[in-house]
Structures are given as structure tokens and as C-alpha cells.
Amino acid sequence: MEKQQAGFGIRFGADLIDTLILTIPISTVFFLIAGDSPFNWMMGWTWPIIYTIYLTLVPLVWSGYIIGKRIFKIKVRRIDEEGLTLKTMVLREIIGKFLLSNVTFGMIIFREDKRAIHDLIAGTYVSREQV
């Protein structure tokens, strides 16, 4: 079966949906607790750490999906088609995406196989669901 990799646009859309779905309730909680502007917590390291933990752990328990990817019917998969592991997701999200993608802008736009640097490091790709 041919792998149907998801491109930059659909992956960006899924990330945007995740950001909205996560920031609105978290901001509300911060506002209710601190009484401060609901988005101040996003200015420092709090948001990147929360989001990276979410991106690392949720696909392990939800078979490669996070909320945005589920909505767009795409998912993280390993190249060898085995199940995702904590090591795979740490390589992908913490080393590849959090540390290196911010420097290389992911490279996904320029690659024919639509794999970003974090996919190359972890041996993963984002696939479109077969309908």
C-alpha cells in the first residue's frame, strides 16, 4: 500500500486547531485562578512546555492522533508501520520539533516526501487516512 503523506497545509491546519482547542480552556483556567490577562501565560516557557508534552504523550494513547489531526483525518505513523513508542515521540516532538524545527522551519515545504526534520529524526511521517 502506498503511503499518503500529509503536506504542510493540512498539518498546519491541524496544529492551528489544536492551539485554539487547548489555549482557550487553559487561558480561562489561568484567568479564574490568577485574575490576570488570560493569555499572559503563553508569553514565557509555559505554553511551549505544555504543548510539547501534549504532542508527545497524546499520540501514544490515541494511536497517532491529537485532536487537530483527528479532525483533519491525519495521524503520526512510523515508517516501519510499528506502533508509536515514547522514544519515537520524544525524538519527534522534543528533539526534532521543539529544538530543531524552530531553527530549520521544519523543511516540509521543500521535501517531496513531505517529511519535516522531526519526522526524519524519529522515523515517522504524517499520513492521510484511507477512505
- The answer on pLDDT for 121 being more than 90 is no
Give a yes or no: residue 42 inside a domain: yes
The Cα–Cα gap between 22 and 47 comes to: 10
**2 inside domain:** no
Closest CA to 97 of 124, 77, 75: 124
Instruction: Assess if residue 95 is contained within a domain.
Output: yes
Q: What is the mean pLDDT of the chain?
A: 82
Residue 3 inside a domain? The answer is no
Q: What's the rounded Cα separation, in Å, for the pair 27 and 41?
A: 8
Residue 1 included in any domain: no
The percentage of residues in the chain with a pLDDT greater than 90, rounded to a whole number, is: 30
- Whether 72 and 64 have beta carbons less than 8 Å apart is answered as no
Tell me the pLDDT tens digit for each residue of 97-115: 777 766 666 566 667 787 8
What are 33-76's pLDDT values in tens digits? 877 666 666 677 777 888 889 999 999 999 999 999 999 999 99
E-assigned strands of the chain?
74-78, 124-128
Whether residue 24 lies inside any domain: the answer is: yes
Task: Give a yes or no: residue 44 inside a domain.
Answer: yes
- Residue 100's SS3 state is helix
Number of compact structural domains in the chain? 1
Report if residue 47 sits inside a domain: yes
Predicted confidence (pLDDT) at residue 131 exceeds the cutoff of 60: no
Determine the structural domain holding residue 56 and report its residue range: 8-128
Average pLDDT over residues 8-13: 88
Phi, psi (degrees; rounded to nearest 5) at 7: -85, -175
